[in-house]
Chain A
Amino acid sequence: MGRQTLSLLQGTLDLVVLKALMFGPRHGYEVARWVRTTTDGELTVDDGALYTALHRLQKRGWLKAEWGSTEQNRRAKYYALTPAGRRQLAAEATSWERYAQAIFKVLNASAEAA
């Protein structure tokens, strides 16, 4: 994996992780499971990378973490979006959508337009 791909991947990964927490606090395993089920396993990314993203985003102040208990009464670290994280999610989602639309237009372009 070249650096270019990684950083692109990282940006995408951040978006995915932020989105995963949009509906409420989750711990790491829950995030990983949500990503897998939502993408039907299409996204081939290490769950370890998801954890790295979680910690990195926490350090940047987009996520906050609190220790709580799972339903099985196990200690777990729950991540939640901070207001800054929520803003970041909105911004990244918008730019990702515009990017995707632009690519989509390119793929559907006809020769006359030039």
Chain B
Amino acid sequence: MENVRRWFRLGDVERDVDEELALYFDETVRELEASGLSSAAAREEAERRFGDARVYRRELLAIDRRSERRQRWVARWEAVRDTARHAVRSVVRAPALAVGIVLAFALGIGANATMYATVERLLLRPPPHIEDAGGVRRLLVHRAMGLGERIHTSSIAFPDYLDFARTQGFAQVAAQYPSDLMLGSGESAEEVRGLFVTASWWPLLGVQPVLGRFFTAAEDRFGGARVAVLSHRRWLGEYGGAPDVLGRTIDFGHGPYTIIGVTPKGFTGIDLRPVDFFAPFMTAGEQLQGGTEWAEERNWHWLRAIARVAPGVSVEAAEAEATRHHRAGRASDTHYDRDVEVVAAPLLDAQGPNAPSEVAVARWLLGVATVVLLIACLNVANLLLARMIRQRREIAIRLALGVSRARLVAQIVVEGLILGVLGGAAALLLALWGGTYVQRMLLPDVDWDGSLSGTVVLVVLGLSLLAGVLSALVPAVQASRPRVLDGLRASGGGITRSTARVRATLSMVQAALSVVLLIGAGLFVRSLDSIRSGDFGIDPWNVAYVRPVFHVGTVEPAERLEYNRRALERVSRLDGVEAATMIAGVPFWTAYAYELTVPGLDSIPRTTRGGPYANVVSRDYFHVLGVDVVRGRAFDERDTRASTPVLVLSASFAQALWPGEDPIGRCIQVDGADRPCAEIVGVVEDASYGSLVEEVTYQYYMLFDQALVTRPPEGLLVRFPNDTKPVLAAVQREMLGVDDRVRFVRGTTLEEMLAPELRQWRLGAVMFSLFGLLALTVAAIGLYSVLAFDVAQRVREIGLRTALGATTRTIMGLVVARAAAITAAGVVLGIAVAFALAPRLESMLYGVGARDPLTFLGVAVTLGVISIAAAGLPALRAAKVDPNVALRAD
């Protein structure tokens, strides 16, 4: 019994049972033979005593097999439990480290969750409450604008819509037009968002009302019923969700509309822009436009169409048929693109040909968030590695106790998973907050509360596990290398050198990634800066656009000029107003074109963007918008109703008309060859009116007073010496007071009108900077931990050097040099990566190259400063090492 026993071996159940039974028979036979039985009799007696050996053997095998299976599970479970217990203990024993790691994960995963939620809302998820959203198509027209290149436009004329509706390949077709409406009048007027939709729109989207009903084709016609459907948002906000809202009326200024239904919560139609009211397309269109001419007008592109392709018809076939109808409808329009094509694009704009610019930025930011997470993982790997070295004695003991290497690796991985999941939980909280922030920053027009979907939660869980495993990978690989383990067992300094290299590399990569992010941040910040200080021909800052809205039917178009003239006079005299002008064309909103005739020229030059575009203005226009006169003069008091009509041209237009010649004094006939000559008196710089960043268009300006064309003013542009906001309200009040037929006055700053355009850069600048700083902080902490740990590990060496006469400066220099080496390598690598990625970023920047040397240099210097700061404390600690203590310890 004292012999070496071996554990009951799993497996070989059969052999063991047979061996056990053999012993029984051999021993019994031996005993019986000893008592005098013959060999055969003894054998027979043994078999009698035992009973049916075959049956019992089978029974024994069955019992043992079951037992063995259970033991195997128990062993497995115990291994898991043991591993988990060690991992948990390991986490709990260093709470500060655990908190640090969880925080790093939370930031990294949180950044990803936030960006993923945003991209999901923008790119992946159809708007809510639409049935079979994949089957809903946006009808786009792919055509050339003027002489320019083809674009996909969603704006079509009403007759175009009727052509689409004729298409057999579409099961359903519907039209919509968004219109901001005003409720009430005067200063208490409230702007609400309306959407005019055809009756077919509701069944096409398959949405159901939560209250009441939607309108029908019988109501959606000229002279039809004035009915409106409330959005859930408006219903709750304005009516407190009262069920008796049905039957109440609302008035947009054209008479009362009866509320007949309420849409489900969160429903905004095919776009994510919030809506307050839905009204029948034809009825409301007639009321709002004050007529039905638009139903015949093909030159007014204003509505958008959606469709569902008929069952059994391919999208291509339906597109081809719609294209035929569209071309036929446009056959008599000689200016229209002959090769126009109708495209049935996906419902999600971001997946179609007209993806908004934020989409690209959001995609980039998702990539950036991934990099932040990567940095967090590298940092955690570094921390776990440092901890492993610190615990090397304990690890050595466990190895000596026979804990397998695989178990050790498993423990490290489990520890990573625990930390990762904790970090993921914290990340969800962060993403809830971050989602709201990004929504405000990036998607102010999107009706989305920034809440997290189930998919986002799943993504977070996946990322948590992935991050946990990734971070544990490096320490786990190190732990599984026999050489390292030998080192651990010896508890010597040998291992620290090999892992020190790994840790320095991890730290270097963190620095490199931070460099990439910071360069991205720098480029976007500089883009935003160039935009704000850029020369667009106009100076849009501190300029407001004010527009009077009259009570319906009270003011004839011809009277609008008189009103605006009086308003201009009074507004110009207000304190805090620098200058004001009447305008027909609103910058970034409307532009007009007229037929031009130039004596001596066969044709009028055009740019790829169409034109030449006209604007009708008053005297101070160029001053208000900050457009400089480059030749001749601006409009002035010499230009009156009685004087010769005059024109001012944009520089490129003048150059295109009369290359190298003086345009002043020449003649252009506007709106027909039979019109009198208008004399060119001045040339102004080219200006951007369509969008801030655009190619040159040809422009010319005329005066309302001289009535070359009969276009009434839309409103006034007002320049303020400084901040617009405080005086804007006074301007609106003044304009209300001019005439009591004015229902209210709308006022917006040009800056507000430009906000969607700037958003792309602002978003990039803010988010890149945020993520970049996050990365930099994490990387700096990582560098600090590497250096601090180095110093702690090399206390003896440093003590020895000090004892041998090294000065404090030399010792500190050692630490700083190491920091500098790691950072320098990181900066070089980061710059190389940024350099390689640059061409992909180029299109999203403005006024700055993607390889802007200043940005690169700035980031490199920043990293240098940060690395020296991170080295400070460890260097001081190294300098304070007392050789007496250091050399005696361990």
Contact = CB atoms under 8 A, between A and B. Distances in A.
Interface stretch (B3-11, B276-284, B574-582, B724-732): B3-11
Interface in B19-61: 19-21, 23-24, 26-28, 31, 49-53, 55-56, 59-60
Contact of A67 (B8, B52, B55): B8
Nearest to B22: A74
Contacts of A27: 20, 23
B64 interface: yes
A66 B20 contact: no
A76 interface: yes
Nearest to B67: A59
B1 A78 contact: yes
A48 interface: yes
Nearest to B26: A74
A69 B3 contact: yes
Contact of A58 (B5, B31, B67): B67
A97 interface: no
Interface in A50-80: 51-52, 55-56, 58-59, 65-70, 74-78
Chain B, interface residues (CB within 8 Å), range: 20 to 34
A86 B31 CA distance: 30
Contacts of B51: 46-49
Contacts of A28: 20, 23-24
B20 A59 contact: no
Given A68-B1, A75-B19, A48 B50 contact: yes
Chain A, interface residues (CB within 8 Å), range: 20 to 34
A40 B52 CA distance: 23
A48 B23 contact: no
B56 A48 contact: yes
Please report whether the interface of chain B is mostly helix, strand, loop or mixed according to DSSP: helix
Given A46-B50, A48-B56, A69-B3, A59 B21 contact: no
A25 B2 CA distance: 12
Contacts of A48: 50-53, 55-56
Given A59-B67, A75-B19, A32 B24 contact: yes
B60 A46 contact: no
A65 B71 CA distance: 13
B23 A29 contact: yes
Given A28-B23, A47-B24, A47-B50, A59 B6 contact: no
A51 B21 contact: yes
A52 B49 contact: no
Q: Which of A27, A29, A77 has the most CB of B within 10 A?
A: A29
Given A46-B50, A55-B60, A55-B63, A77 B16 contact: yes
Contacts of A59: 63-64, 66-67, 70
Given A47-B51, A68-B3, A52 B63 contact: yes
A29 B28 contact: yes
Nearest to B30: A72
A77 B5 CA distance: 10
Given A27-B23, A46-B56, A59-B67, 11 more contacts: A32-B49, A47-B28, A47-B51, A51-B56, A55-B67, A59-B63, A66-B5, A67-B9, A68-B3, A69-B3, A78-B1
The 9 closest A-B pairs by CB, nearest first: A46-B51, A48-B56, A48-B51, A59-B67, A29-B27, A55-B63, A47-B50, A29-B24, A48-B50
